[in-house]
């Protein structure tokens, strides 16, 4: 399909603006060197090419048959194409037609194609362009002057497929696909194929859903192996992560948790707007990678310098302090009153501006704390062309291997002549303060991400995870079997057993109801800080009066930061592990990170770093710091339990895990069928 050497176009036309007209025009204008067979009984020829009354009148078997016809003709024309041995089919129409025998048109087309072993592109899509082969299968106008490049763009949106092809930034693609309904060929198939192209250096995707999760994850692993950055904009929400799980984890998983976890597991760079995507893929396309997580910036404006500082703080881009030798070098060329600090406002009187910019950028490039350079200037149109900015960027880019970008603050003011000159010279132009900094963050993340995959070595394997369904005590024993520390505890049902258990465990004591009660604290089923027999017996009477005689006696764990762990099971991607703020904050803050297991310790550390509560774990405002490495190990071990339990347990809620300066202990757990 994607490298067809011969193409038949059913519904080819010369009616201006029609899909049949544009399909022929696009194929011819793209420089396709193969055979083109217009098919339409009403025309002897179409745009100078001999036309055929039907596909079975063609004297050879086409690699690809394009069905540029309406829905009511699709099934008939598909059958004809398959009868002559067509190797692939592309459909533009919506495939919404009359149901026959209880089967919708879309399903009938799939049945026909699958039986013949033929892939379909579409329907309800705009086709595809293999630009490096000149193969343009599209029924809608696209620019004629498209040049082959290093970016693959795959889109569930036909409009964005077209918008990217019309970009004015000079982003060049090797393959662009509007996947449409994905009748029998999914975005995972296109992604896998694109990753096999030598020209592919960046992949970008606009996603609504994933229809083939196993194949999609396999493709993402291929991208990791080839070190090809994948940029994705995911819209919509999946309800699968909110299956009926009677735990806190249901509430904090959110509709999007599974995709968050998927992208984190495979290092996919998630973007939230098309402008952020454009800046990001332009930056990745330039080919340079950041080896140090720090940005150095040079400005011609004090106000815009402050804007960058604020924005960098908000989006998480580090602006490291300059080394003393760098500061001295910069100070030597700045006008009086300007500060030799990163980011640098280098514009004073404008005297020798180009030389000052070059020296400041050169100094930053040689600073070991700087991994990427941004020359932050508004490329506004001038009365006469001024090449000082672009000349400075070219001079420095030629002397360093670090990524260097020119970054504007307002996309609508960017002079396309100046931007084009920079891009033609290999210097990316990022068109916005926030989108540009987000793109730089993706570049830095890509360079610093340690792709440490779990080795597969298991701490333990428990044959029956459903043993944890017997209540809180059973669930805690299950956690302990996976190497997760839990309190010393016993279950008792009478005062004598209660006192004996307390003596064995030692005061202070926590007493909890063993009855299956949700939100035990609110129900009066938990008493903490019990220091003697009198208090213990009083607590026992209070709890058992309303909640039954069976209670748990547990050691009192010293205070620490409360973290929660959860597991939900997604229909497509399986178990999803959730790490969040714990205790009562779990539902209040919604501060959570989702992960696909297995999770190793480095991945767990990255997840903890993404929590808004992360400063608390470091000892916020003089508080004791948690054992962050030990907490990460607990997350990793919990992920093993999540894998083993996924087929038998609907959800797991561990809340809280108390992360203290000396111990990290899971003190409450619930597993549901």
Cβ contact 319:333 at 8 Å: no
Half-sphere exposure of 369 (CA within 13 A, CB side): 14
Number of DSSP helices (H) and strands (E) in the chain, helices first: 22, 29
> Would the pLDDT of 255 be above 70?
no
* pLDDT: which is higher, 256 or 327: 327
**Closest C-alpha among 434, 435, 379 to residue 412:** 379
> Would the pLDDT of 621 be above 90?
no
Query: Collapsing DSSP states into helix, strand and coil, what is residue 470?
Result: helix
> Would the pLDDT of 384 be above 80?
no
> Would the pLDDT of 239 be above 80?
no
> What pLDDT score was predicted for residue 451?
41
Instruction: Give the count of beta carbons closer than 10 Å to the beta carbon of residue 544.
Output: 20
> Would the pLDDT of 447 be above 80?
yes
> What pLDDT score was predicted for residue 590?
66
> Would the pLDDT of 466 be above 90?
no
| C-alpha pair distances (Å), 493 with each of 511, 512, 537, 540 | 12, 12, 12, 9
pLDDT digits (tens, 9 = 90+) for 388-423: 899 999 999 999 999 999 999 999 999 999 999 999
Please tell me the pTM assigned to this model: 0.88
> Would the pLDDT of 208 be above 50?
yes
For residue 546, name the pLDDT band (cuts at 50, 70, 90): confident
For residue 467, name the pLDDT band (cuts at 50, 70, 90): low
Largest CA distance in the chain: 103
20-29, 548-557, 575-584: the lowest-pLDDT one:
575-584
Q: What is the mean pLDDT of the chain?
A: 90
**Token pair belonging to 503:** 């003596």
Report the C-alpha gap between 467 and 475 in whole angstroms.
7
- Kindly list the structural domains of the chain, giving each domain's residue range(s) and its CATH number in brackets, ordered by start: 6-236 (3.40.50.720), 287-448 (3.40.50.261), 488-555 (3.30.1490.20), 561-672 (3.30.470.20)
What is the C-alpha end-to-end distance of the chain, expressed in Å? 46
Task: Using a pLDDT cut of 70, give the percent of the chain over it.
Answer: 92
Average pLDDT over residues 381-392: 84
> What pLDDT score was predicted for residue 463?
60
For residue 246, name the pLDDT band (cuts at 50, 70, 90): very low
> Would the pLDDT of 16 be above 70?
yes
> What pLDDT score was predicted for residue 251?
39
Using CA atoms of 189, 191, 193, 198 in order, give the dihedral in degrees to the nearest 10: 180
pLDDT digits (tens, 9 = 90+) for 504-519: 999 999 998 888 776 6
Q: Is the dihedral of CA 280, 282, 287, 290 positive or negative?
A: negative
602: Cα separation from own chain's centroid: 18
Report the C-alpha gap between 307 and 299 in whole angstroms.
11
Average pLDDT over residues 540-560: 89
Average pLDDT over residues 265-283: 96
317-331, 541-555, 595-609: the lowest-pLDDT one:
541-555
The angle at the Cα of 71, spanning 90 to 15, to the nearest 5 degrees, equals: 75
**Token pair belonging to 136:** 């343009």
């Amino acid at each position: 399909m994607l490298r067809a050497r011969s193409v038949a176009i059913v519904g080819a036309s010369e009616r201006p603006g029609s899909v049949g007209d544009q399909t022929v025009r696009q194929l011819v204008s793209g420089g396709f060197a193969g055979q083109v067979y217009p098919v339409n009984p009403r025309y002897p020829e179409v745009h100078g090419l001999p036309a055929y009354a039907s596909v079975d009148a063609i004297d050879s078997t086409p690699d690809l048959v394009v069905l540029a016809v309406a829905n009511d003709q699709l099934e008939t024309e598909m059958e004809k194409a398959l009868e002559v041995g067509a190797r692939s089919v592309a459909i533009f129409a919506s495939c919404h037609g009359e149901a026959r025998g209880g089967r919708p048109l879309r399903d009938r087309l799939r049945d026909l194609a699958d039986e013949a072993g033929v892939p379909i592109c579409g329907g309800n899509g705009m086709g595809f362009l293999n630009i490096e082969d000149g193969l343009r299968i599209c029924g809608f106008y696209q620019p004629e002057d498209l040049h082959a490049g290093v970016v693959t763009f795959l889109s569930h949106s036909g409009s964005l497929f077209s918008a990217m092809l019309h970009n004015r930034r000079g982003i060049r693609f090797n393959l662009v696909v509007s996947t449409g309904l994905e009748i029998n060929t999914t975005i995972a198939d296109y992604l896998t194929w694109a990753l096999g192209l030598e020209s592919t250096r960046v992949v970008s995707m606009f996603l609504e859903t994933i229809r083939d999760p196993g194949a999609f994850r396999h493709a993402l692993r291929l991208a990791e192996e080839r070190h090809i950055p994948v940029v994705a904009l995911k819209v919509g929400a999946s309800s699968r992560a909110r299956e009926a799980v009677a735990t806190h984890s249901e509430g904090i998983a959110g509709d999007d948790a599974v995709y968050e976890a998927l992208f984190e597991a495979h290092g996919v760079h998630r973007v939230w707007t098309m402008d952020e995507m454009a800046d990001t893929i332009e930056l990745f396309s330039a080919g340079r990678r950041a080896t140090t997580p720090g940005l150095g910036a040079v400005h011609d404006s004090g106000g815009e310098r402050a804007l960058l500082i604020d924005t960098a703080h908000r989006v998480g881009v580090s602006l490291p302090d300059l080394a003393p030798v760098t500061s001295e070098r910069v100070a030597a060329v700045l006008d009086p009153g300007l500060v030799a600090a990163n980011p640098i406002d280098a514009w004073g009187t404008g005297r020798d501006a180009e030389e000052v910019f070059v020296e400041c950028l050169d100094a930053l490039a040689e600073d070991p704390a700087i991994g990427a350079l941004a020359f932050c200037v508004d490329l506004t149109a001038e009365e006469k062309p001024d090449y000082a900015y672009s000349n400075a960027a070219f001079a420095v880019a030629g002397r360093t291997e670090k990524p260097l970008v020119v970054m504007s603050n307002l996309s609508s003011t960017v002079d396309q002549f100046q931007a084009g000159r920079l891009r033609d010279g290999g210097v990316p132009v990022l068109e916005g303060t926030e989108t540009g900094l987000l793109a730089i963050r993706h570049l830095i993340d890509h360079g610093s991400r340690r792709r440490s995959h779990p080795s597969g070595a298991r701490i333990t394997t428990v044959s029956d995870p459903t043993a944890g369904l017997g209540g809180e005590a059973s669930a805690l024993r299950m956690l302990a079997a996976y190497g997760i520390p839990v309190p010393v505890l016993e279950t008792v049902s009478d005062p004598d057993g209660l006192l004996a258990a307390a003596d064995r465990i030692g005061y202070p004591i926590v007493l909890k109801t063993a009855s299956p009660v949700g939100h035990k604290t609110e129900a009066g089923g938990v008493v903490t800080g019990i220091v003697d027999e009198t208090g213990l017996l009083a607590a026992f009477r209070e709890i058992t009066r309303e909640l039954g005689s069976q209670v748990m006696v547990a050691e009192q764990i010293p205070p620490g930061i409360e973290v929660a762990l959860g597991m939900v099971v997604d229909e497509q991607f399986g178990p999803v592990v959730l790490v969040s703020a714990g205790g009562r904050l779990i539902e209040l803050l919604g501060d959570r990170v989702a992960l696909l297991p297995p999770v190793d310790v480095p991945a767990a550390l990255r997840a903890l770093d993404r929590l808004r509560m992360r400063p608390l774990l470091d000892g916020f405002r003089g508080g004791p710091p948690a054992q962050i490495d030990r907490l990460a190990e607990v997350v990793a071990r919990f992920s093993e339990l999540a894998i083993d339990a996924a087929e038998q347990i609907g959800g797991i809620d561990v809340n809280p895990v108390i992360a203290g300066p000396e111990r990290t202990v899971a003190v409450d757990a619930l597993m549901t069928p």
